[in-house]
Structure 1
Amino acid sequence: MGLLYAILLGAGGMIAIGFFLLVSWAIYYDLSRSNIPARFDHPLKLRFIYRILILMFTMGKLLEVLGLCRQVVFIRFLLDLWRPALDPSLSSKDLHFDGVPVRVYQPKSPSAGRRRGFVFFHGGAGMVGSILAYEDVCSKIAKESDSVLVSVGYRLSPEHPYPAQWKDCFAATVHFMQNAELYGVDPSQIIIGGDSAGGNFASIVAQQLVERSDLPKLRAQVLIYGGFQCMDFNLPSYQQNSRMPILFREKVLHFGLQYFLKDSSLSYDLLKGSHVPDEMRLKYGKWVSPENIPEKFKRQGYERVTLAPYKLDVYKQVAEILQPTFSSLFAGDAVIRALPETLIVSCEYDVLRDDSLLYKKRLEDNGVKVRWFHAENGFHAVLNLFNAGFLTFPSSIEILDNVLDFVKHL
């Protein structure tokens, strides 16, 4: 009995030491790598969240090295642990739209007529995130806007590489548009939207729908801090927020290459712009130019960086990232002009901020009606923290309130 007690005590001690080392590593990594501007509100709260994420990714990597579990699977598991109770004023049903898993949220209260529909694509770099992880966000939008909301569980990379993600989103959206009346939805009042990678997918789906004359026109699109171009990673926001939690510039490149199943060693050439052919620089440079970004966003520090000489071998490996089906900023004028009314949400402390500003200008220059909300104290992925208790950020509530106001006043 004494021996068993000693073994258990020793094991408990080892676990405690291991946990202490992990926490120490998370604190060290945060303090040595991240840079939170002094003007940012709630830095301690953000550091706490970021350190939790560092712990999650570190533990996942250790499990992967030990051959027990892939890091991405571990992260998905942890993100799905939070299971909020469904609001009693809503019903939900798990279905498949053209083979794609979806969850349909519907208000229980009777409606005088057909409701609007909202198709939502979650974020997560195309590799993590799920219907369950976005239950809070989606149920809140459905309830407060009195809409039928479809949350799309698209396939994830690396098991299902690009373009599976946006194609699933497109297939689910088309199915919903064709069968909207079965869910009490007016087919002419369907909105699509998403955050982060989901915002990128929404922009692509909206552009693909322009060619579908057999379907009603989208009523609107909601693009929440998405990425819309992969030509220039040295725009002002990429420099100013290069080490701002929770998304560093280096991680944008790292996750992007992982998403496409490409070697992470290509990050250096992408950062310099060596992947962009000269003809694309001439064609797209007018849209990606920092001259299109208002001066107030350059005052926090910006040094113009010229793209490095083109390397054909690099371009051949990553050519997909410059196509409109990923860099949606590069769609033709005819497609852009046909897009629906748009809400664009950007965050001041987000490395992807300027992608939103550039896409906003591209839409406005082509006559698309745009409403823009800029979260002055927002950072990437803050939307997911609108209902996180003491970890809730005011900017997350502001973003959600603006989305709801936009939808309700369409």
Structure 2
Amino acid sequence: MTAIHPDVQALLDLIREAGSPPLDALPPEQGRRAYLAGRRSLQPPPDPVALVRDLGVPTPAGPVPLRLYRGAGTAPDAVLPCLLYLHGGGWVLGSIESHDWVCRRLANLTGACVASVEYRLAPEHPFPAAVEDAAAALAFVAREAEGLAVDPARLAVGGDSAGGNLAAVLALMGRDGSAPASVLQVLLYPAVDLAMTGESYERVTRDMPLTAATMRYFVDHYTPDARDRTDWRASPLRAASLAGAPPALVLTCGHDPLCDEGRLYAHRLEREGVPVTALHLSDQTHGILTMSRIVRASAGVLAFVASGLRDAWGTAG
């Protein structure tokens, strides 16, 4: 077992002392409440930003909530690059609210726009509902760019965990012309292979915020038909080719069942000619970006991500 950062150990001690049941022991609705409460307790107060605007993306299944953040100090009429952000939570949990702090911080660090998507959740809305909503949101931002004061030529896609999965899918859709193209894909401890065959699933089986059992719970809800798990829109690692995808920034953590598949995805992207920035934190665990009150490294990781976004957008410095 690799070393555990003291902040992560403090987090694990806090979770153990609270005595809360694991998420995979809860019904989805109860799990959603617990997840949101946990995110709020583990994040600092939200950063002030220049603008927060709630919108609805029209889709055949009904409007998809979309929240726009514009970084502090940006002018109301300034045309900004935009990151479409997709929250984590295993396609079952999470919301705009659970990741509000992360999106505010990224908007401020980049001096840009962040558009956070509240896609439909499983098990009520299994695969491919989340993919459809994410694609609709990206298309909406590109289509309405003028009214939103964003630059459609400088769109990025990103997300953590399940959101990283959806961002990777959108990046491939953009390459293929079935979604607007993005200039960067930000994949933060992403799930990219729902077959769950990586060795890290055997290694991370207890004590961590995300374990192999929790991932099985999520995957079973998101893809109840096991045949869907080999569809590249569910498992982008299984796409026939990754060549031509936009440059990628990939974060992995050692104490995470998703570690091996995330690292393999980064290696495969690189092998197939995609520029990759890979950051591996061997002593950290899954979910640290929404645990910034305890895990101090998360602030530095978000600053690193923001630097990568500014470089891709040509706004660095």
Q: TM-score range by the shorter chain?
A: 0.7 to 0.9
Match 2:20 to one of 55, 59, 63: 55
What is the CA–CA distance in structure 1 between the aligned matches of 2:19 and 2:9, rounded to whole Å? 15
Of 172-181 and 195-204, the range deviating more from structure 2 = 172-181
1:179 CA displacement: 1.6
Match of 2:308 in 1: 406
SS of residue matched to 1:132: coil
Partner in structure 1 of residue 34 of structure 2: 75
Give the one of 232, 254, 271 matched to 1:324. Answer: 232
Partner of 1:200: 165
CA contact (8 A) 1:375 1:398 kept: no
Q: Which amino acid aligns with 1:319?
A: R
Distance 1:258 1:111 in 2: 41
1:254 to 2:217 alignment: yes
Give the C-alpha shift of residue 86 in structure 1: 5.0
Larger Rg: 1 or 2?
A: 1
Query: Does the residue aligned with 1:206 lie in a helix, a strand or coil?
Result: helix
Alignment correspondent of 2:56: 96
In structure 2, what residue type is equivalent to 1:370? Answer: V
- Partner in structure 1 of residue 152 of structure 2: 187
Q: What's the CA shift string for 1:274-311, capped at 9, x where partnerless?
A: xxxxxxxxxxxxxxxxxxxxxxxxxxxxxxxxxxxxxx
Counterparts in 2 of 1:243 and 1:341: CA distance versus 1, 3 Å:
same
Q: Which residue of 2 aligns with 1:374?
A: 280
Overall identity of the aligned pairs, in %? 28
Q: Does 1:40 align with 2:4?
A: yes
| Residues 190 and 219, structure 1, Cα contact 8 Å, conserved in 2 | yes
Spell out, residue by residue over 1:112-139, the C-alpha distance to the aligned partner (whole angstroms, 9 max, x if none). Answer: 9632111000000011111111111000
Q: Does 1:231 align with 2:195?
A: yes
Pair 1:178 & 2:84 matched: no
- Alpha-carbon offset, residue 41 of structure 1: 1.9
CA distance in 1, matches of 2:152, 2:29: 42
Which one-letter code corresponds to 1:166 in the other structure? V
Q: Structure 2 matches for 1:235-384, cutoff 5 A?
A: 235-260=198-223, 262=224, 317-333=225-241, 336-384=242-290
Q: CA deviation at 1:370?
A: 0.7
SS of 2:210 mapped into structure 1: coil
SS of 2:98's equivalent? Answer: helix
- The verdict on how the C-alpha distance between 1:136 and 1:70 changes in structure 2, with shifts beyond 3 A counting, is closer
The CA deviation at 1:216 is 5.3
Q: Which stretches of structure 1, 4 residues or more, deviate above 4 A after TM superposition?
A: 79-86
Aligned length: 305
In structure 2, the CA distance between the partners of 1:381 and 1:53, relative to structure 1 (3 Å rule), is farther
Deviation at 1:362, TM superposition (A): 1.4
Do 2:5 and 2:284's aligned partners in 1 also have CA atoms closer than 8 Å? no
TM-score, length-normalised on structure 1? 0.68
- Opposite residue 322 of structure 1, the aligned amino acid is T
1:221 corresponds to: 185
- CA 1:375/1:121 → structure 2, altered by over 3 Å: closer, same or farther? same
CA deviations on 1:303-341 (whole Å, 9 max, x unpaired) are xxxxxxxxxxxxxx41001110111011122xx212111
Q: Which amino acid aligns with 2:298?
A: S
2:129 is aligned with 1:164: yes
Q: Which has the higher contact order (CA 8 A, sep 6+)?
A: 2
Task: Please state whether the residue corresponding to 2:176 is helix, strand or coil.
Answer: coil
In the alignment, the residues of structure 2 paired with residue 230 and residue 80 of structure 1 have an alpha-carbon distance, to the nearest angstrom, of 25
| Aligned partners of 2:123 and 2:221 also within 8 Å | yes
Q: Distance in 2 between matches of 1:220 and 1:53?
A: 39
- 2:70 aligns with 106
Structure with greater helix share of residues: 1
Return 5+ residue gaps in structure 2 as ranges: 313-317
Whether the 8 Å contact between 1:57 and 1:75 is mirrored in structure 2 is no
The CA deviation at 1:57 is 4.8
Structure 2 Cα separation of the partners of residues 88 and 191 of structure 1: 22
Query: Is 1:375–1:399's contact at 8 Å kept on the other side of the alignment?
Result: no
The structural deviation recorded for 1:404 is 1.1
Is the 8 Å Cα contact of residues 177 and 187 (structure 1) preserved in structure 2?
Answer: yes
Task: Identify the residue that residue 115 of structure 1 maps to in structure 2.
Answer: 80
SS in 1 for 2:190: coil
Aligned pair partner of 2:299 in 397, 403, 407: 397
